[in-house]
Structure 1
Amino acid sequence: MLKRLRSIFTAKNGKLQDRSERILKLEKLIGVTIEDPALFKRALRHRSMVSQEKYAAYDSYERLEFLGDAVLDLIAAEILFNKYPEKNEGFLTKIRAKLVRGESLAKYTQYLGFEDLMEVGEKNGNMKMSKSILADVFESIVAAIYITYGYQASFNFVKNVFDNYVDYDDLVHTVDNYKSALLEYTQAERLPLPRYKLISESGPGHNRTFEVKVLIGEDELGTGVGKSKKKAEQLAAEVALQSLDRN
């Protein structure tokens, strides 16, 4: 399946010999000699450039991100399968989700410095990159490595990133259900149970954004913003736990 996807994404028009400073910096970061600069530039190109410059509609990182997501899931699964030979599939699935979730991928992008190499439109040039964008860029780079050099090279790149930036013990013990943790805290401390209230809802129907607050009794302890009410509630609960920990 991955081999077929790889062939779909391979450029049809040959490889451009472009040894720009940006490509040279990227080579140092990913540890390979880039044979197809055009592909890797596309992996770093935000869609705001497509509408502003003479690029085709598909000439941003978004298609590569789609492929990279699939490749990254397989790589993470293989790494965890070998690292934890006695753990069941439920454990492995949970840890993989933490390894490749958007927040984690965004951090890898920032650690490696890919953010500084991105190509964005003038109107977006000074914007702070969202975690979602940074995560997408990491996946698109994985895809570009996979297309050019195959699975083993992309595996080596991802494993090197994980080895350098992931604390597996911390990952295993990290709380990821903040609503449950907050509920357990309030029950243990004999506090009123958490209540979540929707503050606002915005955006088009296919891309809604929700803002939620969490209250303990009458005290507002945190707010969260997410693409679903569930995500917003989790973020609000996380803020509340941090607030309670400080007090």
Structure 2
Amino acid sequence: MAAGYRALEEALGIEFRDPALLQLALTHRSYIYETPGAGRESNERLEFLGDSILAFVCADFLYRTFPQLNEGELSNLRAALVKTETLAQFARDLNLRSFLLLGKGEQQSGGSQRVLASAFEALLGAIYLDQGLEAVRGVIIPRVEPLARTIVEKRLFKDSKSLLQELAQAREGITPSYRLVSQEGPSHNREFTVEVLLGERVIGRGQGRNKQAAEQEAAHAALDSRGWL
């Protein structure tokens, strides 16, 4: 492994057997578009794999750790743990941005939350292929466990849309509405942006891999901005 990746491996507690997997996990499609070459590919396939593994590891952990929660509560809790904002923060904690191979446009923008979250998922996919499932657990669980326990203790896993509707109707007599602002990316990796409104006022904005997830993010942002959490 090149010296440039050693700090990341140390932060993960993992030494890659196949260094090419780590480099692939850190290669964004914008880099490939601007530096074409035979045999090159981006981290999108690894992201697909990592996303599925992350969902499974989190579901398994939550099922075993919180037997008092029902299916809906477990689903909402898992959604909070794997949302773009959370994964992007995990990436920042690893200083992942400094290791990414990005095109010039992405470099200038600093790498969006979506780029960082996707890279973290791709990294999980690479770790799984290189080291196996237990190594992935070793990366995921220490990061999600304290966050999960805080969410459960404060009962923050309640569906954000339902909570916003309940509070908005009770406090302002208005039912929130949602509108789609944009959808970007290829069909297998699309990102939706949604705004939530009270009347004509935009009170929150969210992003997600489908409209429902984006609406939940927007509702959570609205609850936070209005001090209703």
TM-score under structure 2 normalisation?
Answer: 0.79
Correspondence list, 1:120-131, <5 A = 120-131=102-113
Counterpart code for 2:197 = V
Tell me the secondary structure at the aligned position of residue 77 of structure 1: helix
- Note the C-alpha offset of 1:205: 9.9
Larger radius of gyration, structure 1 or 2? 1
- Note the C-alpha offset of 1:139: 1.2
- With over 3 angstroms needed to count, the CA separation of the structure-2 counterparts of 1:85 and 1:188, relative to structure 1, is closer
**Aligned residues with identical type, % of pairs:** 30
Q: What is the aligned partner in structure 1 of residue 3 from structure 2? A: 21
224-233 vs 89-98, which deviates more?
A: 224-233
2:135 pairs with one of 153, 163, 182? 153
Tell me the secondary structure at the aligned position of residue 226 of structure 2: helix
Q: What is the aligned partner in structure 2 of residue 162 from structure 1? A: 144
- Segments of structure 1 that go 5 or more residues without pairing to the other structure are 1-18
- Note the C-alpha offset of 1:225: 5.2
User: For 2:14 and 2:84, how far apart are their aligned partners in 1?
Assistant: 25
97-106 vs 191-200, which deviates more?
A: 191-200
Q: What is the aligned partner in structure 2 of residue 102 from structure 1? A: 84
Q: What is the aligned partner in structure 1 of residue 177 from structure 2? A: 196
The answer on whether the counterparts of 1:46 and 1:118 sit within 8 Å (CA) in structure 2 is: yes
- Note the C-alpha offset of 1:212: 3.4
- With over 3 angstroms needed to count, the CA separation of the structure-2 counterparts of 1:80 and 1:234, relative to structure 1, is closer
Q: What is the aligned partner in structure 2 of residue 212 from structure 1? A: 195
Correspondence list, 1:26-41, <5 A = 26-41=8-23
Counterpart code for 1:171 = I
- With over 3 angstroms needed to count, the CA separation of the structure-2 counterparts of 1:91 and 1:149, relative to structure 1, is same
Counterpart code for 2:198 = L
- With over 3 angstroms needed to count, the CA separation of the structure-2 counterparts of 1:71 and 1:215, relative to structure 1, is closer
Q: What is the aligned partner in structure 2 of residue 114 from structure 1? A: 96
- With over 3 angstroms needed to count, the CA separation of the structure-2 counterparts of 1:83 and 1:23, relative to structure 1, is same
- With over 3 angstroms needed to count, the CA separation of the structure-2 counterparts of 1:35 and 1:93, relative to structure 1, is same
- Note the C-alpha offset of 1:152: 1.5
CA deviation string 1:153-190 (max 9, x = no partner) = 12222223334xx332332221553332232223333x
- Segments of structure 2 that go 5 or more residues without pairing to the other structure are none
Counterpart code for 2:163 = A
User: For 1:199 and 1:70, how far apart are their aligned partners in 2?
Assistant: 26
The answer on whether the counterparts of 2:177 and 2:196 sit within 8 Å (CA) in structure 1 is: yes
The answer on whether the counterparts of 2:77 and 2:157 sit within 8 Å (CA) in structure 1 is: no
Counterpart code for 1:99 = L
74-83 vs 204-213, which deviates more?
A: 204-213
CA deviation string 1:33-84 (max 9, x = no partner) = 1222111011011111112224457621111011111222222122223212
- Note the C-alpha offset of 1:108: 1.0
CA deviation string 1:109-131 (max 9, x = no partner) = 11221122111012321213222
The answer on whether the counterparts of 1:102 and 1:131 sit within 8 Å (CA) in structure 2 is: yes
User: For 1:208 and 1:67, how far apart are their aligned partners in 2?
Assistant: 18
- With over 3 angstroms needed to count, the CA separation of the structure-2 counterparts of 1:205 and 1:180, relative to structure 1, is same
User: For 2:144 and 2:203, how far apart are their aligned partners in 1?
Assistant: 32
Q: 2:115 aligned with 1:133, yes or no?
A: yes
The answer on whether the counterparts of 1:196 and 1:233 sit within 8 Å (CA) in structure 2 is: no
CA deviation string 1:93-116 (max 9, x = no partner) = 332222222222111111221122
Cα RMSD after superposing both structures: 3.1
